[in-house]
Structure 1
Amino acid sequence: MIEQLLTVLADGCFHSGQELGGQLGVSRSAIWKQMRQIEASGIEVYSVKGRGYRIPGGLDLLNKDAITEQLEASTLKQLGRVSLDLVIPSTNAKAMQSVYEDGHGSLYLTEQQTAGRGRRGRNWVSPFASNLCFSLTWQFSKGAAALEGLSLAVGVALIRGLRELDIPDVEVKWPNDLLWRGRKLAGVLLEMVGDASGECSVVIGVGLNVNMPRSSADEIDQPWTDLQEIAGQAPSRNTLIAVLMNSLVPVLEEFSEHGFAPLVEEWQQANAHRDQVVSLHIGRNSEQGVCRGVGPNGALLLEVDGSTREFHGGEVSVRLP
């Protein structure tokens, strides 16, 4: 019933309790109770006597039909199940639980994550129907060693998609963030299941800020931005996920065959810290040097005392000193 109510209220207009009850086949009292649950989830609802209920600004709800209609035939061919939930703890967690049952190319979407995670266990803020949180499962046959650079390849694919939507100047921060003018726009979280030396599946989780309510800003512990700020008007989230999938799927196919090497130069062009002095924090240790981009295996190249050294994933982060 909540999903039906939200679909009606998504237009941002007033709807009376009697009207809503008639559409859903329930009493006005039942509608009132459902509205309390909607408010408890963090969605702002206006209630005006004589006019009814309204969600100010409306909602840009995800719709599987609207998404699949915009997917290219080659993308659809690679996708299996498309799952859409209103609220779940994490799309990555659901994908990890279902990876063997649902298989290759399964896409998991949700309007809200209650326990979304960023890198190193950080909380990923996810207000209802405001941003984009999705996970895609993808099968690889060459083992974990062949997955080096995968998060960087995903970043390249996301930038390609955003560029198609006229979102300019998005940059990559090694190894898995997208930035705009130094502020975080998106993050990528990869998790692997299966044989580390053979057949394995990777859950590719992406969180992208689309239209973040400013009331959620206090929950974010780093500089951030969203597509609403960048573009002035955020694209429809249904169009956004379709365009991103149309970019991501061919990149994953290419990566499966050739690894990250063919994408190195494209990543370098978007490198947010190219030729800048940066600090790398590895556990309690840190290194400082000049960022010289990445190698064909996705390792970060850092010039330290005149020599170039490689740094791989794990607990490495990059921050301007």
Structure 2
Amino acid sequence: MTVRSLLSILSDGKFHSGQELGEHLGISRSAIWKHMRRLEEDGLEIYSVKGRGYRIPGGLDLLNTGQLDQLLAPALRQQLGQVDLQLNTASTNAAAMSDCLRGNCHGNLYLAEQQSAGRGRRGRTWVSPFGRNLYFSLVWRFDQGIGALEGLSLVVGLALVQALERMGLSGAQLKWPNDLLVNGRKLAGILLEINGETSGACQVVIGVGINVAMPYVQGEQIDQPWTDLATEMRGEGLLRNQVLASCLNELIPLLVQFSERGFVEFAEHWQNYNAHQGQPIILKVGEEEVAGVCQGVDASGALLLETGQGVQTYHGGEISIQRSL
């Protein structure tokens, strides 16, 4: 708790002396110094000036479960289970999956200020600087079996884009099956992991990463064009607790609707955001490449690709899309 309390003080972006911090937290100046070194090792930028103390340039917008509770729609608070907030974790998805293996975690929410081993699809690393973006995993139980989950990642994407539009984002599109783009640059990604039976009840870990205010240095580690909300919305309304609450306020009702009716009722709406609708694309399916024109998705969420052999259907898995030159 000491580190979180320390960060709460430094979150104002102002200088605080080691003596002041130590007195407030009841620890020595030497202990304060050690905490600062560990935070710097975690990638947090800290200014240290002799005679003035320590400050975090620009301050910090820390996640806060109390604020989140106030920002959630009242009817939805009851649908959330436990909220687990960590300063640093390997992966919120990994933490959620570990708990799912031990029992029912329906509605549990896992949050982290930083991930040391965040993951995207196909084994990619998700760059996760401290306190700048959103990394969260929500566990949801479905009783119809794994086969009924087709199209779920598309529904999650639709919830995210609607939530961010409500906050003022414009021009967002969805890349099948799990990315949110703005002007062709990746803003957010989704990773679903499933624990359960093929034909029985299962728990799905819905992992979401959203670039809120990606520092340029960490952004250089990303191996594809990217953007963040700070760039697209010019920093307006970007308190991370509000972004998270907005996403959950959209996501939870859509999960309930999907559980009851499947993807079919979302298909037409999803097409309105399809980043590749009517465009020539190349699908990479394992080692194979298939060229064609994207014709959207069918009622189950499968991708429709018009090729020389007619319209082919592709379901999720190890498939990636590239725009044809």
Identical columns (%):
54
Residues 8-56 of structure 1, C-alpha deviations (whole Å, 9 max, x = no match): 0010000011110110011212211111111111111111111111010
Residue 198 of structure 1 is matched in structure 2 by 200
Distance 1:275 1:306, change over 3 A: farther
Match of 1:240 among 225, 235, 243: 243
Cα distance in 2 between the residues matched to 1:277 and 1:6:
49
Residue 111 of structure 2 is matched in structure 1 by 109
Q: TM-score by structure 1 length?
A: 0.98
Residue 131 of structure 2 is matched in structure 1 by 129
Residue 152 of structure 2 is matched in structure 1 by 150
1:216 Cα deviation from its structure 2 partner: 0.8
Residue 42 of structure 2 is matched in structure 1 by 41
Q: TM-score by structure 2 length?
A: 0.97
- The range that moved more, 35-44 or 264-273, is 35-44
Pairwise mapping of residues 257-296 of structure 1 onto structure 2 (< 5 A)? 257-296=260-299
1:77 Cα deviation from its structure 2 partner: 1.7
1:315 aligns with 2:315: no
Pairwise mapping of residues 180-219 of structure 1 onto structure 2 (< 5 A)? 180-219=182-221
- The range that moved more, 150-159 or 32-41, is 32-41
Question: What amino acid is the match of 2:300?
Answer: N
1:80, 1:102 within 8 Å by CA — same for their partners in 2? no
Residue-pair matches, total: 321
Cα distance in 2 between the residues matched to 1:73 and 1:195:
33
Residue 65 of structure 2 is matched in structure 1 by 64
Match of 1:303 among 293, 306, 311: 306
Cα distance in 1 between the residues matched to 2:262 and 2:51:
62
Question: What amino acid is the match of 1:265?
Answer: E
Cα distance in 1 between the residues matched to 2:283 and 2:247:
30
Cα distance in 2 between the residues matched to 1:111 and 1:79:
20
1:83 Cα deviation from its structure 2 partner: 0.7
Residue 4 of structure 2 is matched in structure 1 by 3
Moved over 4 A (4+): none
1:286 Cα deviation from its structure 2 partner: 1.1
Q: Over aligned residue pairs, what C-alpha RMSD do you find?
A: 0.9
Residues 63-92 of structure 1, C-alpha deviations (whole Å, 9 max, x = no match): 000001111122112111111000000000
1:101 Cα deviation from its structure 2 partner: 3.9
Question: What amino acid is the match of 2:32?
Answer: I
Residue 55 of structure 2 is matched in structure 1 by 54
Cα distance in 1 between the residues matched to 2:58 and 2:323:
38
Residues 191-233 of structure 1, C-alpha deviations (whole Å, 9 max, x = no match): 0001111110100000000000001122100000000000000
Residue 161 of structure 2 is matched in structure 1 by 159
1:306 Cα deviation from its structure 2 partner: 6.3
1:159 Cα deviation from its structure 2 partner: 0.8
1:81, 1:102 within 8 Å by CA — same for their partners in 2? no
